[in-house]
Amino acid sequence: MILPLVFGWVMKTASIESVSLDPENKDSKHYIPSLYDQNK
């Protein structure tokens, strides 16, 4: 009974934002424009 309560508390503070680790994805905070610049 305690575990679901703790899980609920943890998930309440979790972000629902999708996180991308792909350096080619322009919405990712790991995007590297100099490597994927189309205007070269």
What pLDDT shows up at residue 37?
Answer: 72
pLDDT for residue 38: 66
Let me know: does 29 contact 15? Beta carbons within 8 Å: no
- Rounded to the nearest 10 degrees, how much is the dihedral formed by the CA atoms of 19, 22, 23, 29? 0
Identify whether the C-beta of residue 34 lies closer than 8 Å to the C-beta of residue 24: no
Q: Please report the DSSP string for 1-40 in residue order.
A: -HHHHHHHHHHHTS--S-----TT-TTSTT--TTTS-TT-
pTM of the model: 0.39
pLDDT at 11: 83
Output the pLDDT for position 13: 77
> For the segment 1-40, what is each residue's pLDDT rounded down to a tens digit?
789 888 888 888 777 676 788 888 888 888 888 887 765 4
